[in-house]
Structure 1
Amino acid sequence: MVRSSVLGYPRIGINREWKKVLELFWADKLEETDLHIQLQEIRLNHLRKQQEMGIDIIPVNDFSYYDHMLDTATMFGIVPKRFAYEGGAVPIHVYYGIARGTKDAAASEMTKWFNTNYHYIVPELNGAEPVLTENRPLLAYREAKEKLGIEGKPVIVGPLTFLKLSKGYKAAETDAWLDRLLPLYVQLLQELASEGVQWVQMDEPILATKLSADDVLRLNKIYETIAAQVPALNIMLQTYFEAVDNYSDIIALPVKGIGLDFVHGLTGNLVAIQVFGFPADKVLGAGVIDGRGIWRASLNGRLDLLQDLVELVSEDRLIVQSSCSLLHVPVSTERETKLPSELKDALAFADEKLSELVLLARAVSSGRSEISRELADCERALQALKLSKARNRQDVQDAVAVISAQQVERQQPFAKRHIAQQEKWQLPLFPTTTIGSFPQSVEVRKARQLWRKGEWSQEQYAAFIREQIDIWIKLQEEIGLDVLVHGEFERTDMVEFFGEKLEGFAFTQNGWVQSYGSRCVKPPIIFGDVAFKEPMTVEETVYAQSQTSRPVKGMLTGPITILNWSFVREDITREQVAYQLAYGLRQEVEALEQAGIGMIQVDEPAVREGLPLKENEHANYLAWAVKAFRMTTCTVQDSTQIHTHMCYCEFHDMIDSIEAMDADVISIETSRSHGEMIHGFELNTYKLGIGLGVYDIHSPRVPAVEEMTDMIDRALKVLDPKLFWINPDCGLKTRGMDETVASLRNMVEATKLAREKYSVSVSV
């Protein structure tokens, strides 16, 4: 009998109740006891839903108070010394301090979870003395069994993945750290085995990346040790996000089950099984339902694949499951009442994916006739979307084919453009600016809500937006910034705003997913051909420029970020979609320039996160990503200054591609990674304008002038002072007004000190 399972379920709740509870607690409006009570109820509701929908093997310990990597670190007592942790179970204020920072201690670094849009908190191992502070998987297992009668499958971040994604140790110390961590994993698993746990899901997504020979040896050591010391426990070694490269090594490990991704890693994993077979003593977790995408699966196609797998692995050793955790998709399509039927019928969020899993397991066991009606409904829905007018815009397809075949480069190289721009703008040494957005207060959000409900007219709303622009233009001038922004008060999300104004996009009412902590985003759906309709940002930007003699940047989101932060159609390549986006955004860039805006920022914070996990695919992706950016920006005059922005990713291995984008100025996050990005520029020269963020905007603390000065001094050891800008890490939308103004004042003060220090040695 084929069983169904899922690798994890969204934490946020169908009404984002998880987010709301956390934020009440952070605002001191909820006691800690009530925090635990309310989060438990949310957690149990999620388990209850999976139980009622018929999932056979239900995950536990996939729920988190913030992030699963942070959970693992604190479970092992790995807490940075600056948080004054004294041992034992990590207090909730320390837990959230690591994630969000405190007035006395900076938050830990945050970066992308592989190539997804989810951010995790990076564990800091330096100085830690790991110990098992509490067995969280055991507590989650007991809760599910006692409260709901569920024989849960505890989910644990595996030792190799945890170690490889942590920081604060040298490569030569890797084995020593493994020797510290492995006994704790053994202790944890022994306690689970003693409790009678049947299956444990050990997540090792690192196996989808390139492993060194030493890493393969470590992998063997980990699972041979576990097998020897916890022989009664069934371990499902779970991989996802791609095919595994070391298939032969992995199937030889002494584990009871191996989970493989047959969506994003379909070709590699299927060929590996066909060539090398699958062990007769192991269970295969077949990830056939996409845990990251929102499109309804072709059930016939999935059944064809499962039938192929049954021929290689018997039914009793097959578990039908999601390709990865459903953390990355919205909860349910049930409340989406405004989408076109041809689109809604082709969607599957987390709950719909649970149904797909149950149907597939049933059909493999009992035959397709058992789900014949569902199969027919599925094929009708997929065909209707395929034939829709939105997906067959010949005008767009022809235009994009023409411009993508043209040369995409600026008229003059950067050195000549820089001279023209300096003559035009007369900027001082170390120009100061911000990344784009300013705090979206309660009043701003309320005004937008009134406008969207029709209670405010367009004229009322536009007048309100102009008032906010006026306030912040004056504040920026008073603070002393050199290049200003209008503040983006008319915008919700940086991708959603543009998607609403371009054709080919659709928007959900409740399609929220977790980005980091309580920060949830509602990604647009690119379901048709993308087309420009009319100017999107010109009105507000031109108004802001009319209120000041200082330059105001036009602010756009770039094509690759829109691509990577949206749910994207699957019937054409992502490269083709990127070029359609670039074509639409190019028309907006040209409209801004024609309206007199001579600085235009095209943000691309998500370029790095779209990088494929397989190294042999990097060059092709970066080539078309760079081309799409240049398609967007290449038609402007030499004196028009193109800016871009990137944040919260490791960029050291793609600096050449960043330079190839040929933006006149790039701003990159560095403060939360404690200046580690600067090391990349110590190893690689960068010849264009650049600003390295000097303070972390994701923390509420106001950084001291001295902190920013230290960051500036280190950066100027490796970067050309004539090309150096000073700015925060990212946009300031989520911050409060007082802390924003205070931080920016300190940033300007740090800039003044830097100008005094370096002005003698630098001739601008």
Structure 2
Amino acid sequence: MKTTILGYPRIGKTRELKKACEQYWAGKTTETDLINTASNIKKDNWLNQQQIGIDSIPSNDFSFYDQVLDTCLTLGCIPERFKKINHNNLLNLYFAMARGLQNDHIDVTAMEMTKWFDTNYHYIVPEFEKNQSFSFFSKKIIDEYKEALSHGVKTKPVIIAPVTFLLLGKEKETGFDKLDLLENLLPVYFEILDELSKLGVEYIQFDEPCLALDITTKAQDAITYTYKAISEKFPHLKIFLANYFDCYGNNLNLALNLPVHTLHLDLVRCSLQIDDILHTENFNPKTHISLGLVDGRNIWINNFEDSLKIIDKITTKIPADKLWIATSCSLLHVPYDLNSEKNIQPDIKQWLAFAQQKLEEVVAIKHLASADNNDFVYLFEENKLANINKSKSKIIHNSNVKNRVNNLSASYSERNSTFKIRQAKQKHSLKLPLFPTTTIGSFPQTKEVRNWRLQHKKGQLSTENYNKNIAEEIEKSIRFQEHIGLDVLVHGEFERNDMVEYFGERLNGFVFSDFGWVQSYGSRCVKPPILFGDVSRKEPLTVAWSTYAQSLTPLPVKGMLTGPVTILQWSFVRNDQPRATTCNQIALAIRDEVADLEANGIKIIQIDEPAIREGLPLRKNEWQHYLNWAINAFKISASVAKDETQIHTHMCYSEFNDIIEDIAKMDADVITIETSRSEMELLDAFVNFKYPNEIGPGVYDIHSPRVPTVTEIEILLNKAKEVLPKEHIWVNPDCGLKTRHWLETKTALKNLVFVAKKLREEALQLA
């Protein structure tokens, strides 16, 4: 047996890449500095895997921003608006496509961004025109293979496969099907494979995760055509076909008949597909199988005993020398190294494995499955004991929490009155104008604010002085919002490190790492909480700062909460009970917070749920089960509110067309969504469905440093006015402003308020 992984974290053990990118964007360092940082990260990753004993090490899994954006540059798939940027400077072009670019000479908007399958990772969406041409533009995949060779490491280059690349993209004009571009695209892949072949590459990993989806017959035919063409042209190359995040499902027979060397199986998400393969008559005995036994998505240790049983089962039909031991997917989704963690209590730490430990697990499983395994038996015993300890641990279970969930009834999920009745009461109580303006919650967290938090954590800043500083920052933000004329204010969330981490730190059942960072998009890194046990609220989570902010102004200040589904999705979640049960535990804790905010005079409460769509299973026949419990969990958290209390929710970077009916069932009084990058296209689902409640279509792309002009905002809002009742439209950014700078934020929000007031005046004149 051989060992491999599908990809490795790329941000650096101490987020070196994040810091280097942000310094480069700020003009404080050179391109050479950034490239050197990247080279050091890649070198460390390759040599580390080699030293541990990974047989086939990936290259081209590194990215400055996103692997799909890398593929766009590799394939010369560059939207027309970026043609004016100097193509000789690939990095500037690359970052302009990801983030937009605005200076005295150029003003271009960024490409769209959305979630990578059902993860919290975001990818840049390829854009296709009817007669799209492609070319071998960026040689990154070649350069990184050579770079690894220079360090004595022969790698397995990784590339997103042609059909998945097309399916991930978007047609920017009507009258064609993006799959029809395959004929234009394949010759470029042939060029890439030809150059790699000349360098002596043995294995090439084609990432084809669209095989985990319900794809059309046309897409299936395109995949068959693609690999047949590659096999005929490059018969000596060994294609490692990687599907992950779910089973092959209805695509299994297709996959088994492809002329590829190795077929990868995600056995964490779908262990049953082993039985499907063993009992099918279509299996090609020449095909090698990659067993994705080690979880690339979560941080719990592998169960060696279970993994070895799977290997025993499959070796009844497939010889061991045709098997790979692998991670289920890329390790991009987990932190670097558990050894860096000094503050996680030992009885929990024994159950955890980060990327470094997962490499070790892959190698250990390989050796434990072999006859000569004496040197590894002690690892098996340690692993078995840790898993037994976990199953019996008293710190995981809380009978009071379990009883509360078991006693949930339908009444917990329903508001007192219908939306129409609530809306009338809220209009009377809040007295908001037409086109009310607000933000999504957070304001820029400056280096100074982050330093206060760090100093307070280290004991270098007293709690009294820390709170004093935060209070002053909140007051400044309130005064700014009043000054520019926002209608519904926020306290700014300066006390919060992260919208999930902050809540997890204040709830029972969570533990936190110090260095457990993973990439969300670009330089944006998050440190997911580790949800190991039953969840309950220790004490009020947000009431003190929310009521303080409200005391500073007669205008309404929103109470800001993260919803139960998002806390679930953006945590490393326990794997010993159904996710729905865990989600209901969180929902009850948030419900208690809603009740306390309302009792303390907060009249508008926002419960953010950006991860609702993200949590959808990849196969549609499993959607409704998930939506039923996910939507119900939100309703449990919100339905304690009185009619007069306005409940908002926020969702960003989601396609809503096929789940809009369930979004409506959430029955939030106001929903805010991302629509600026799509130029209000995402609003279509709400319009076609005749969404009954109020809606804030975002008009300011906060993932770009660009400042939207008055004209841009006005165009977007006029599009919304054409299709929505004006009484239902809110005016707001796409998302929170935490990652932006104050100068651009202030200018953008002033533009936003100016346009809202202009629309108000026009409406009054027409009345």
TM-score, structure 2 as length reference: 0.97
Identity of aligned residues (%): 45
Q: CA deviation at 1:15?
A: 1.1
- The one-letter code of the counterpart of 1:83 is F
Q: Which residue of 2 aligns with 1:594?
A: 599
- The one-letter code of the counterpart of 1:117 is N
- The one-letter code of the counterpart of 1:33 is T
Check whether the contact 1:77–1:90 (CA below 8 A) recurs between aligned residues: no
The CA distance in 2 between the partners of 1:450 and 1:33, in whole Å, is 32
Q: Which residue of 2 aligns with 1:31?
A: 30
The CA distance in 2 between the partners of 1:367 and 1:293, in whole Å, is 30
CA separation of 1:181 and 1:89: change in aligned 2, threshold 3 A: farther
Q: Which residue of 2 aligns with 1:184?
A: 188
The CA distance in 2 between the partners of 1:143 and 1:444, in whole Å, is 40
Matched, 1:63 2:68: no
Q: What is the correspondence of 1:288-687 to structure 2 with a 5 Å cutoff?
A: 288-366=293-371, 369-403=374-408, 406-687=411-692
Question: Which stretches in structure 1 are left out of the alignment for 5+ residues?
Answer: none
Q: What is the correspondence of 1:183-202 to structure 2 with a 5 Å cutoff?
A: 183-202=187-206
Q: Which residue of 1 aligns with 2:71?
A: 72
- The one-letter code of the counterpart of 2:400 is D
Matched, 1:113 2:149: no
Check whether the contact 2:171–2:178 (CA below 8 A) recurs between aligned residues: no
1:743 to 727, 744, 748: 748
The CA distance in 2 between the partners of 1:445 and 1:34, in whole Å, is 25
Q: What is the correspondence of 1:719-758 to structure 2 with a 5 Å cutoff?
A: 719-758=724-763
Check whether the contact 1:262–1:270 (CA below 8 A) recurs between aligned residues: no
User: Is the deviation greater in 447-456 or in 368-377?
Assistant: 368-377
Matched, 1:172 2:176: yes
The CA distance in 2 between the partners of 1:5 and 1:715, in whole Å, is 50
The CA distance in 2 between the partners of 1:244 and 1:662, in whole Å, is 35
The CA distance in 1 between the partners of 2:689 and 2:290, in whole Å, is 43
Q: CA deviation at 1:759?
A: 3.3
Q: CA deviation at 1:612?
A: 0.6
The CA distance in 1 between the partners of 2:311 and 2:175, in whole Å, is 41
Q: CA deviation at 1:139?
A: 1.8
Deviations 1:610-656 (A, max 9, x none): 11101111001011011000100111111011011000121221111
Deviations 1:328-350 (A, max 9, x none): 00001001111111111110110
Q: CA deviation at 1:404?
A: 5.1
Q: CA deviation at 1:474?
A: 0.7
The CA distance in 1 between the partners of 2:438 and 2:274, in whole Å, is 48
Deviations 1:576-629 (A, max 9, x none): 000000011111110101111111000001111011101111001011011000
Q: Which residue of 2 aligns with 1:99?
A: 98
- The one-letter code of the counterpart of 1:519 is R
User: Is the deviation greater in 265-274 or in 326-335?
Assistant: 265-274
Q: Which residue of 2 aligns with 1:231?
A: 235
Check whether the contact 2:297–2:331 (CA below 8 A) recurs between aligned residues: yes
- The one-letter code of the counterpart of 1:210 is D
Matched, 1:286 2:291: yes
Matched, 1:153 2:156: yes
Check whether the contact 1:77–1:88 (CA below 8 A) recurs between aligned residues: no
Check whether the contact 1:77–1:128 (CA below 8 A) recurs between aligned residues: no
The CA distance in 2 between the partners of 1:430 and 1:613, in whole Å, is 37
Check whether the contact 1:431–1:725 (CA below 8 A) recurs between aligned residues: yes
Q: Which residue of 1 aligns with 2:133?
A: 129
Q: CA deviation at 1:669?
A: 0.6
Q: Which residue of 2 aligns with 1:206?
A: 210
SS of alignment partner, residue 253 of structure 2: helix
Check whether the contact 2:59–2:158 (CA below 8 A) recurs between aligned residues: yes
SS of alignment partner, residue 761 of structure 2: helix
Q: CA deviation at 1:665?
A: 0.5
User: Is the deviation greater in 167-176 or in 223-232?
Assistant: 167-176
Question: Which stretches in structure 2 are left out of the alignment for 5+ residues?
Answer: none
Q: CA deviation at 1:756?
A: 2.4
SS of alignment partner, residue 679 of structure 2: coil
The CA distance in 1 between the partners of 2:63 and 2:453, in whole Å, is 32
- The one-letter code of the counterpart of 1:308 is K
Deviations 1:381-431 (A, max 9, x none): 122222222211001100111125655100101000000101101111111
The CA distance in 2 between the partners of 1:658 and 1:665, in whole Å, is 12
The CA distance in 2 between the partners of 1:273 and 1:208, in whole Å, is 19
- The one-letter code of the counterpart of 1:14 is K
Q: CA deviation at 1:368?
A: 5.7
- The one-letter code of the counterpart of 1:643 is H
Q: Which residue of 2 aligns with 1:702?
A: 707
CA separation of 1:311 and 1:326: change in aligned 2, threshold 3 A: same
Q: CA deviation at 1:369?
A: 4.8
Check whether the contact 2:179–2:219 (CA below 8 A) recurs between aligned residues: no
- Paired residues in the alignment total 760
TM-score, structure 1 as length reference: 0.97
Check whether the contact 1:689–1:724 (CA below 8 A) recurs between aligned residues: yes
> Could you say what the CA RMSD is over the residues aligned between the two structures, in angstroms?
1.5
SS of alignment partner, residue 613 of structure 1: coil
2:247 to 230, 243, 251: 243
Deviations 1:342-389 (A, max 9, x none): 111110110100000001111222266552211111121122222222
Check whether the contact 1:476–1:484 (CA below 8 A) recurs between aligned residues: yes
